[in-house]
Structures are given as structure tokens and as C-alpha cells.
Structure 1
């Protein structure tokens, strides 16, 4: 009973699949644009007439020179024309139908099989009409079954053209997807993974992205180092840092910026052959990565286990994508250089800031303390004056140090998305303070300008610190809201609230990034800060920043 049930299920599944394919096929037929069937199909016959007619005309011109009498020429031309039409017209018709179907199907992109078959059918009908016209066959015979003998071969030609266009369209789609993935890549590994995922065929083993270490005559690389590699199968040899030199890999010296180089291990000298075979490659395609400005930024290698190498279409795909890889790799290099330059400039700025403010302040403090120490035994007033001045300078230096720190981007934002960084701040504060805290995000998360992120993060830290110091709260809720072109940070507690005396902008903190500093920073970015509180009913601090203005600032 179970066997019969399984057989019935298989039969039902097969019937359903066949029905689905039939419905899809008929749906594609409804989408066919018949003008792109009829006119191209008729064009096949016209092109055939032009080509065959041209050949017959050339043949007739040659015979007119050889034969003196017009009668002999006419007989010879008639006989030759019949042979030419009989043996040349069918292959010309066949090849023309393939080419026309290929061009139409590639342009339309949908219902490809239908376009190929229908164009072949129309061209077959045109061929039948041509034969009937030139041979003087009565029109009635065209209605006979003989007509259908003209359809199979042209339909086959149309189908072949459609299949070829399908392969071309699939290749274009692969290139497009690879290009999209590469444009979003931020590391060399992401680049080679994008290429391997979308362009690697069954016989491709590894795809490597190499950095040029040394260059020789004409800019040719003499030493390269592997940045990243995509491998079809795990290969321990292809690890970042792997180096190839012109001494062991002579093909490097044969490279030129204008052309790729396809090599086969069997044709190489013994030393280089061993070098490539040790990497699991029997053939390789070496593509120089050159920017439009002529700068040689790297090398792309595609290795294969097949000794015959890559096909022309595969090679063309890799060479095409290499132009974009060169640009992306060059951009990544520039980004790294810019980051290194920015770090160096920031270090220099901090050094100047410390020298001009903190170092001088500490020097003054030491001088006043030493002066106070000397005056201590004899003159109490001078001692107190020096101590007061040292205390004042120390406070100014502390404020300056805090301003320097406030200008730095928190390390937490360098390694964590902004919303997760706020969540971590809330979680850590709750663990240290013992106060229950909740973090919520509302609206669609959008990217923020770095200054906006720093301001909101510092504000959340200071607001939570104030809650711990003053509020005596049992629960805190931090909400990050994205509303249109505005981002809002709310910190709400259920503590004792603020007294009128403490509701001043600087009433919640004794220093640091207090409400005054918060308000100044928020105002600079075009935002607003509000504090709502009633004694015994808790406090809510709200900061709103416009995304566009914040980014512009």
C-alpha cells in the first residue's frame, strides 16, 4: 500500500512540475513582441537573397569574360546559378538565422526560446516562398504537407541562436553580480571572494590578489606578495604573505601593463613549472591591475587544474572585471593612506595641544608649589597665594584636558555600530550601578555623522552618571529614536526629580561633560536639549539632532 502511495505521489509531483513548466512557457509566449519575430524572420530571407544573389552576380561576371557568345554565357550562368542556389543558399540561410536569432534574443532578454523558434519558423516560411517563386511552383502546393519540410532546419537554427544568447546573457549577469559585489568590497579578501563566487568555473582552482613588492624594467613586477586568495578547495599553500619572485617565476618578467598572460605549466622551464605545480596549478592567467592613469597597483591570478587553460570567454570575463578590481584596490590603498595620515595628524595635534596647554599648566603648578614650599616657614600669606594660584591653574588644566578628551572619538565607536555602542554603555552602567536599565531603538536605523555619534554617546554617559550620583532611581530607560530627518536620545529615570535650585543647566554635575557642555555641543550641531522634571516624579533628558544639519556641521 505504501509503495502505491509513493508511486502516486511521484506521478502527481511530475504532473504538477510539467503543468508548471507548460504554464510558464505559455506565459512567455504571451509576452512575445511579434514585430521582433516577423521582421527579423523575413530579414533572414532577404539577407540570404542578397548574399546568394551577390555570389551569382560575381559568377556571371566571370563567365561573361570567358565565354564569347551570349547564349553560352546564359546557359552557363543558369546552370551555375542553380548549383549556387542549391548548395550555398541552405547554409547561408542556416547561419543567418542563428545570427539574427542571437541578436534579437540578446536584445529582448526574455522569452528567449520562443523568439528563437518563431524567428526560425518565419525564416523557414520565407525560404519556402523563395523556392516556390524561383522554381515556379504553383501556390496550391504550398498548402501541401511539403511546406512543413522547410521548418525543422530554420527552427533548429533559431533555437541555436537563442541558446547562444542565453549563454551570453548569463555571462553578462555573472559579470554584473561580480561587479556589484566588488563595488561593496572593503578588503582584498572580499574582492577575491566576489570574483570566485560569481565568475569561477569548474576548472578554476584559485584566484589570487597580489601586491607588488618590487618592480624592474618597464615597471614589470619582480616580486609579489599574496594579499588574499579564493580557493575552490582548501589549499594551505595559498596564504596571505606568500611571495613569488622573477627568479623562480619567470613569467612575471614577461608581463606588460597592456595585456594579460596565460601560461601552461607544461610549456614552462622546470623551475617555474615546479613553482606553479606546488600551488596546485597546471595553467594560470596573469592579469596586471592597472588604473586608467597607468599606475600598476597589483596582480590578479587565476589558476586552473586543466593543462589547456581557461576558455576565451572565461579569460575575457576575468580581464573585464580586472579593470574594476584595479580601481577598487587603488581606492582601498588610498583609504589606508588617508587613515594613516589622519592618525599621524591627530597625534601631532594632540602633541601640540598637550605642549601648549597641559605641559605649560603643569610647569606653572610645579613652580607655584615650589615657591609656596620656600615661603612656608616665614610668610603664610605668600604661601597661600601660591597655593591658590596652583589650584586655579590645576582646575584650568583639568578643564582643558577634558576638552581634549571630548574632541576624541571614543574607542567604542571605532569597533561597534552606534546603536550597539549605546546599548553597551547602558548595560555596563546598569551592571556597575545596580540600577535596572533598559535600552530601546525606535524607527529605521540610519547612518549618523561621527560628530553626532560622539555627542549622543557622551551625553548618554554623562546623563547616566548624573542619575547614579543624584537621582536615587530604581529604573532607567534610554531610548534612541529615528524620526524622519531627526535622531532623538531620551534618558528617563524614576528618581527623586530635580529641585528648582538644581534645574539650572549646570545643576546636575560638578564638572566634566555636564549639561552646559552638552547644550553647547548639541547647539553647535543644530540640535536642542530639554530637561523635564518634577520633585518626586523622576527626570527626562531629551536631545534631538537633525541628521542633515549634523552631517553638514
Structure 2
């Protein structure tokens, strides 16, 4: 057997080692781009998720309605995180957590959970996401309700407690991700950030709902007080009409009889009775003036004609009452309305009448207007009255409440009446440029529908400041 020389063996070994080194280097060069590509993809996905969560949390900070919260969570968790199912629980009436969002929707909704039950209790104590498997293990020896057992069997793999203001505001359950991937540590941190902001938003939504409920209750109480005040004024008007007014009329009749008897006796006896007759005549005139003032007071307390003849005819009668005492010097007052009275509730008619009455009174007393136009308009959606005058005008304050500082309570009363019916007041005026008062009141059906939408959305109608109330135009306004 011939042996290979030592030098040849050494060269072979070196060649083999060099070949193996070159092979290893080639494999490394091939693997590095693959690893870099995988890392780039993973880091790119995390950066994209981070940008999405930042955008959603910013939007949640300005969210005050439950539907908007549901939409943002749905878009983020389903579209960005790739969850196949989500369930959002919020505190409902009583001691319960109610499911308000379920995706995908199905005929069988998630059952309500007891707020202080075992499942909620475990999640309340947790400050990080909890897997359903771990949750079930911790509740293995705890007595659970049927609803809690059903929730544990639902297609949810991860639960996020929603903590805010040192209390559990709700629960967020996430289903498996598309493709079966698990949540990474970075993704869990993003989910906790999202859960924190969602809890804060949910708390704000609940606070806003409470404020809206209190506002609705206050509005209802204000409306009842307004109705009670009108009923009291009606009672006072009836008592004055049936009592004092009739007594004054009776006294006038007796004075008329006394004047006639005195004149007859003086004529029969031949004695002069002129002075006494003159006194009685003056007493009757003074009594007639008192009766006229009392009737005007009765009309101010409660316009009796309004319920009998309707809003249009009542305003026409009011205009005539203004014109008669002034005679030829009376300003021109025109009423623009349809041929038939609108089918409005009594409170709506009374409110429009009072607003027109106050506007005309201000135009005559303060603005020295020579031309006044009253316009009535109504539709199934709303009703309005507009009063335009060519008087001196005034500077509209920033807030209508500032009228109280000037001792002008008439416009404050208008705003209170209109707001109690869900309406708006618009005032436009300038010095030596006249004044326009526009009062808009929604129909009962529209107001009820608006209240239902606000309660369903978790937010109320915009309240706004008094300046907005005073200057904003409305659907039934001029030119519409």
C-alpha cells in the first residue's frame, strides 16, 4: 500500500478546510438577507401597529359617544391586529356588565355578567391582559353563573380589563388572530395602551350620559314649572274676571242708575242737581278706565282668545288693542300668516304668542319703531315667529343672560320659555338699524326623536353658549 506524502496530506487538509470555510461563508451570506427581511417585516408591522394605536388613542381622547368608541375599537382590533372576534362589555343598569359590541355579530349575543361576580372580580384585580385559559384555571374552583360559564366558552382568547378612575369600567375580549399568531410582548403593551384610553373614554361616555340624563330631567321639570305657572296665571285671570271685574261692572251699573235717579228727582223738584250728576258721571268714567285696565291685565296674564280663536286671530286682536288707544299716531303693524291656524300644542301656541307680544312691546316702548312686521310660519318639523321692526336697535350682548344686568328681563323670559320647549332664539340688531327677533320651536315629534337619538348615542344635544343661542339661524328661518 502506497502512502500519501505528508506534504500532500497537509495540502489536502488545508484545501478541505478552505472549501468548508467558503461554504459556511456562502450560507451565511445567504441567510443574512433572509433574517434581515424577516426582521424588517416584523419591525415594520410593529411600527405600523404603533402608528395605528397612537392614531386611535388620539381619536378616543376626543370621543364622547358609545357608537364612536365601538367603531374605533372595531377598526383597530379587527383590521389592524387581525382579531377574528371582539366583545366589549360596559357597566349597565344595576350591578351588571352588558355586551354592547360583538364582532362577528350573531343571533346569540354575549350574556350579561355580574359586576361583582367571580369572572369580573379576577379581571378587576389584573393590570395586564389575561388569557382565557389562565382565567378558566383561576376560576376552576369558583362558583360561576350560567352567563359566566358561557362567556368562558366563547371564542375569546384574551381579556383586557378596562380600568379608569380606580374602578372597572368594562371588559374587552379578543378572539384568535387570523392565521393563529400569538400576541407578542410589544403587541400586548400596545393593547394595554389601547385598553387604558378606551377605559378613560368609556368613563367619559358614562359621565356624559349622566349629564344628559340630568339635563333632560331638568328640562322636563322646567317645562312642568312653566306649565304650572301658566295654569296659575290662568286661575288668577279667571278669579279676577269672575270676581273683581264683575264687581266693578256692578258698581258702574249702580252709578248709572244713581245718576239717572238724581237727574229725575232734580228735574221734578226744580232744584239743581247738576253737581252731583257731574260727580257721578266722572265716577263712571274713572270706573270704566279701571275696567279697561283690568281687562288689559287679564289679557296679559292669560290671553283667553288664544284657546278659543287660535294663534293667528289672537295676534290680530292683540294688534288691534295696541292700535285703538294710539289712534292715527299708531305705528304700522302687519301680520303675515297663513289662512289657517297651525295644529300646535297649547304650550307652543302660548310661547309664540308671548314672544311676539314681548317683541312688539319692546319695539314700541324702547325702540320707537314706526313699522313692525310679525311673521308666523310652521311645518311638520317646526314652528316659528319672526318680529322685525325699524326702531333704534341695540347692541346684542355676548350672552343673553347679560340682559338681566341691564334690568331687561323680557328677553330672558323669552329664552326661558323657548328653551323649555327645545327651541332656539335668534336676535339680530344694530344701532339705528332695527331689530329682528326669530323664535324657532321644534315639533313634539321632532323633539322626542332628538331626545331618543341623544340617549342612544350617549350624548346630548349641543348646549352651546348663550351667544350661539342668540345668533344662530334655524331650519325654518327666513328664506327657507
TM-score (norm 2): 0.47
Higher relative contact order (CA 8 A, sep 6+): 2
TM-score (norm 1): 0.41
